[in-house]
Amino acid sequence: MMLRDETLMALGEVIEEGDIVVAVYQSLFDWMEIKPRDLNYVATGAMGQASSHGLGLALANPERKVFVFDGDGSLLMNLGTLATIGEAAPENLYHLVFANGTYEVNGGHPVPGGKNIDFASIATACGYPHSFRFSSLRKMRGMLAEIISCKGPVFMA
């Protein structure tokens, strides 16, 4: 199992100064501790909207990479956005979902179907040309250079 803070620290090593990061709730709180910067898009109060905000920022800023740090519960609230992103096909969008099976920020309530959802397969079916699924931080670290060289949208779970 990959821990969110360790995963974000690894991503912090490859995210460049001009890249935009969209994060919600727990991912946002952790990311702001790891890499506080002007291009962190603070999306508290926007549960379910990280991917939509990321899409808008990616389309408006095609010269910048846009990283979206999403939660499984948050993504489920707006699952249709995967199809919209797949159709829009922004080459600069990198979407990571942390799937812990809970709505962590509001008390750890279980996400419906949280243990059975294959987000990477859903993203592929919605038109993401690249989807990656990781079970270990070591494997993810080993592939980060390849992942960020892919033209997006790219999905990681």
Every domain of the chain and the residues it spans? 4-156
- The CATH number that domain 4-156 falls under is 3.40.50.970
Q: State mean pLDDT over 4-30.
A: 81
Judge whether 85 and 95 are in contact, CB under 8 Å. yes
Residue 116: predicted pLDDT: 82
Angstrom CA distances, 122 to 16, 39, 76, 81, 82, stand at 28, 29, 11, 11, 8
Q: Note the pTM of the prediction, 2 decimals.
A: 0.88
Mean pLDDT (the chain, rounded)? 85
Task: In whole angstroms, give the CA distance from residue 93 to residue 64.
Answer: 9
Residue 135: predicted pLDDT: 84
Residue 119: predicted pLDDT: 93
Residue 150: predicted pLDDT: 96
Q: Hey, what are 98's tokens?
A: 């942390």
pLDDT digits (tens, 9 = 90+) for 21-49: 998 766 666 766 666 677 777 766 677 78
